[in-house]
Chain A
Amino acid sequence: MDTAKVVGKPAFASFIERQAEEVSVVAPVARAAGEFSYGEVQDASSLEEEEYIPTLSSPKKYLLPPQEALFRFSSPADSAVHEGEELEYTADVEQKRRILLAVRPCDIAAIHRMDQVFSDTEPDPHYLARRRAAIIIGLDCLEPCDELAFCAAVGTSDADEGFDLLLTDLGEDWLVRVGTDQGAELLEECQEIRDATEQDLQRLKDVVQAKEKVFRKCQERLDFPGEDIPEVLEGSEDSPVWDEYGDRCLGCGRCNLVCPTCFCFDVEDTVSLDLKEGERTRRWDGCTLLEFAAVAGGENFRRERSDRLRHMFLHKGKYGPERYGDLYCIGCGRCARTCLAGIDHPEVYNALMRHRDKGDDHG
């Protein structure tokens, strides 16, 4: 660890309050009984939640909004935009400084994966501008959020990188791990903060050690090591497991909507009533939806629900790791929490493993 600091919780809270006066601060806030989601906050009360309930969706929406304009177009002539006159195009990228507060290790891992996708080959200026303007203050999990999480099984229950600052609860104090220069700079504005002592670091070590035990059950949700997921998926294409779960799947796309590593989007044009200006927007899309792979000529390359479900699993568990070296499922459990058919990813992986062991997946 590069540097670690310690600050009393009230001092850190007033630091956040001061930040909120200057920049946008977003953190998990209670929306209804037992329901949290990320929203703008003015203080650090999110850090004080007694029982943390995972947010319905991840902080992804602040980097890749559910809907955003890619550019605007207008017709300088007295004609509608689609009538073939030369148009004026304007594109803005949002660069609003924003602190993402209380981001959990699984979501920190997810943001790292989104960074990979959006900087790959043709960098996406919209995502990257937001990302560069974002400051991530992580919050370590000392216990699993619920029984559907399986972060410990896929190696995302601890964060070693991907944050500017990471908070660990030491009771009266926060232990603050500094991940980047940007994080260090920000902390200069935090009062009553001191370097961590040997004793503090020992406390951190104890806390981290205690995690291992507390997260054992979470880790055991998967019957095999998470790093073997690509191998388990290898050659699973014809497994009957996909038919079984494909039958249950409603193809509703809710899992895609809440997944912190789903990045697919649809693109749509909208025009003003006089048809003289408009914008091209992108909005989240989902690979489990029927029309996702359909082309204009009528062909649909993944017509069956089982094809689409399998594609999603293979993308998260095999294709993603093959290209980027990381699992694209970060074990947050959000898909299972929201799935109307109760499809739970570790359950599917375990079923694939059992079928593979029985050797009946090549039927």
Chain B
Amino acid sequence: MTRSEHHAKSLYVPESAEIVDRKTMTNDETWYHLRFKSGRTLGHEPGQFVQVSIPGVGEAPISITSPPSMTDGFELCIRHVGNVTNAIRQLGKGNVVGIRGPFGTSFDLAAVRGYDILFVAGGLGLVPLRPVIHTALEERDQYGRIIIFYGTRSPDTVLYREDLKKWQSDPSVDCHITVDLADDTWRGHVGLVTELFHLVSMDGENTGAFICGPDIMFRFVLAEARAIGISDDMVFLSLERRMKCGVGKCGHCQEGPFFVCRDGPCFSYDQLQETLQREWTE
């Protein structure tokens, strides 16, 4: 059954998924392990998202944070900032939420096969990049160097501490973390994520980059990526926009000619250049 056939009958109706496990990650973010009650596998690609429903409250687009190789359910990392994401916060193990998806485009790992990979994540941007990093590490011999830059507000907002620790101790990974504002406990780098570009020498022409973070970060990180010689068609990013339907109908996520839910959320910089450039010059 193709995806469009599957959704033809139930395009907007969610499927029940049980919260198998949950963990508080930071003050604002919670990690969830979900499993469909029907037993079906989500069948996603890294970078795709789902629509999470709390009926009576609403629906919100959330990036999938587990790699496709995980087939016993899937994971989400949710920042509690809106009505839906705050309602989810009230739910625990055994509770059920509604899920639609997976939706949208995925990160094109095949395009960087044989290349070095640079991951740049700002804050919650680590969430959609995590499945890409995991997938790349599962097929480690397909790629050259793997470099990870992760910047976040402060030490207490660091996500996926266990993953980061593993990546930092993995000799085949070059993982750097920075915070904007340090506290007494912080021993690592302090400053913006762009500063990490100056700590690591990279062979830009043989590097593909995956970038995700707040809009303001893109502008500066993309300039750095260009400066070290990564070509625009080898830079991939994921955009966050308002979404209601997730299936290219409601119009909220439009960015220039694109419906981010359908044509994105993962784009190459090449594709987006005209659109983003305009926003940034204003």
Q: Are A301 and B249 in contact (CB under 8 A)?
A: no
With A285-B251, A296-B82, A296-B85 given, name 5 new contacts (CB 8 A).
A82-B57, A84-B19, A264-B252, A265-B244, A314-B257
With A122-B7, A124-B11, A269-B57 already in contact, the answer to whether A85 and B250 are too (CB < 8 A) is: no
Q: Quick one: which of A70, A89, A265 contacts B251, CB cutoff 8 A?
A: A265
B191 within 8 A of A: no
Chain B residues within 8 Å of A125, by CB: 8-9, 11
Q: Are B96 and A87 in contact (CB under 8 A)?
A: yes
With A122-B7, A267-B59, A295-B240 already in contact, the answer to whether A82 and B254 are too (CB < 8 A) is: no
A311 within 8 A of B: yes
* C-alpha gap A271/B87 in the complex (Å): 15
B110 within 8 A of A: no
Shortest Cβ distance from A133 into chain B, in angstroms? 17
A293 within 8 A of B: yes
* C-alpha gap A295/B252 in the complex (Å): 10
Q: Are A267 and B244 in contact (CB under 8 A)?
A: yes
Q: Which of A121, A263, A323 lies at the interface centre, i.e. has the most chain B CB atoms within 10 A of its CB?
A: A121
Shortest Cβ distance from A301 into chain B, in angstroms? 6
With A269-B58, A275-B56 already in contact, the answer to whether A121 and B257 are too (CB < 8 A) is: no
Q: Total interface residues on A, using CB and 8 Å? A: 53
Q: Are B13 and A265 in contact (CB under 8 A)?
A: no
Q: Quick one: which of B242, B247, B255 contacts A122, CB cutoff 8 A?
A: B247
* C-alpha gap A160/B260 in the complex (Å): 34
Q: Are B96 and A287 in contact (CB under 8 A)?
A: no
User: Mask for B51-78, Cβ within 8 A of A = 1, else 0?
Assistant: 0001111111000000000000000000
Interface of B is mostly: loop
* C-alpha gap A153/B79 in the complex (Å): 49
Q: Are B247 and A121 in contact (CB under 8 A)?
A: yes
B10 within 8 A of A: yes
Q: Are B241 and A263 in contact (CB under 8 A)?
A: no
Q: Are B250 and A264 in contact (CB under 8 A)?
A: yes
Chain A residues within 8 Å of B255, by CB: 301
Tell me the chain A residues, 290-318 only, with Cβ under 8 Å from chain B.
Answer: 292-297, 299, 301, 307, 311, 314-315, 318
Q: Are A296 and B60 in contact (CB under 8 A)?
A: yes
B186 within 8 A of A: no
Q: What is B's interface to A at a CB cutoff of 8 Å? A: 3-4, 7-14, 16, 19, 37, 54-60, 79, 81-83, 85, 87, 90-92, 94-98, 214-215, 240-242, 244-245, 247-252, 254-257, 262, 278-279, 281-282
Q: Are B252 and A71 in contact (CB under 8 A)?
A: no
Q: Are B56 and A271 in contact (CB under 8 A)?
A: yes
Q: Are B58 and A268 in contact (CB under 8 A)?
A: yes
A356 within 8 A of B: no
Tell me the chain A residues, 69-125 only, with Cβ under 8 Å from chain B.
Answer: 70-71, 73, 80-87, 89, 91, 117-118, 120-125
Nearest CB to that of A315 among chain B residues? B254
Q: What is A's interface to B at a CB cutoff of 8 Å? A: 70-71, 73, 80-87, 89, 91, 117-118, 120-125, 237-238, 263-269, 271, 275, 278, 280, 282, 285, 287, 292-297, 299, 301, 307, 311, 314-315, 318-319, 322-323
Q: Are A292 and B96 in contact (CB under 8 A)?
A: no
Q: Are B250 and A285 in contact (CB under 8 A)?
A: yes
Q: Which of A120, A124, A311 lies at the interface centre, i.e. has the most chain B CB atoms within 10 A of its CB?
A: A124
Q: Are B55 and A82 in contact (CB under 8 A)?
A: yes
Chain B residues within 8 Å of A80, by CB: 56
With A123-B4, A282-B250 already in contact, the answer to whether A84 and B55 are too (CB < 8 A) is: no
Interface of A is mostly: mixed
* C-alpha gap A322/B275 in the complex (Å): 15
Q: Are B81 and A296 in contact (CB under 8 A)?
A: yes
Shortest Cβ distance from B122 into chain A, in angstroms? 13
Q: Are B215 and A267 in contact (CB under 8 A)?
A: no
With A117-B249, A301-B255 already in contact, the answer to whether A293 and B55 are too (CB < 8 A) is: no
Q: Are A295 and B241 in contact (CB under 8 A)?
A: yes
With A287-B254, A301-B255 already in contact, the answer to whether A82 and B56 are too (CB < 8 A) is: yes
* C-alpha gap A83/B4 in the complex (Å): 31
29 contacts between A and B (CB under 8 A): A73-B55, A80-B56, A82-B55, A82-B87, A84-B19, A84-B91, A84-B92, A84-B95, A86-B37, A118-B249, A120-B248, A121-B4, A121-B248, A122-B7, A122-B11, A122-B249, A124-B11, A124-B249, A237-B278, A265-B249, A266-B250, A266-B252, A267-B59, A271-B56, A292-B242, A292-B252, A295-B242, A314-B256, A323-B257
Chain A residues within 8 Å of B279, by CB: 301
Shortest Cβ distance from B128 into chain A, in angstroms? 15
* C-alpha gap A318/B266 in the complex (Å): 23
Chain A residues within 8 Å of B94, by CB: 84
Nearest CB to that of A91 among chain B residues? B13
* C-alpha gap A285/B245 in the complex (Å): 13
Chain B residues within 8 Å of A81, by CB: 55-56
Q: Are A280 and B55 in contact (CB under 8 A)?
A: yes
Chain A residues within 8 Å of B278, by CB: 237-238
Nearest CB to that of A127 among chain B residues? B249
Q: Are A71 and B37 in contact (CB under 8 A)?
A: no
Q: Which of B4, B95, B252, B282 lies at the interface centre, i.e. has the most chain A CB atoms within 10 A of its CB?
A: B252
Q: Are A319 and B257 in contact (CB under 8 A)?
A: yes
Chain B residues within 8 Å of A299, by CB: 214-215, 240
Nearest CB to that of B123 among chain A residues? A297
5 tightest A-B contacts by CB?
A84-B95, A296-B82, A264-B251, A122-B247, A82-B56
Nearest CB to that of A270 among chain B residues? B56
Shortest Cβ distance from B102 into chain A, in angstroms? 12
Nearest CB to that of A295 among chain B residues? B242
* C-alpha gap A264/B254 in the complex (Å): 10
With A121-B262, A265-B244, A293-B241 already in contact, the answer to whether A86 and B96 are too (CB < 8 A) is: yes
* C-alpha gap A240/B244 in the complex (Å): 32
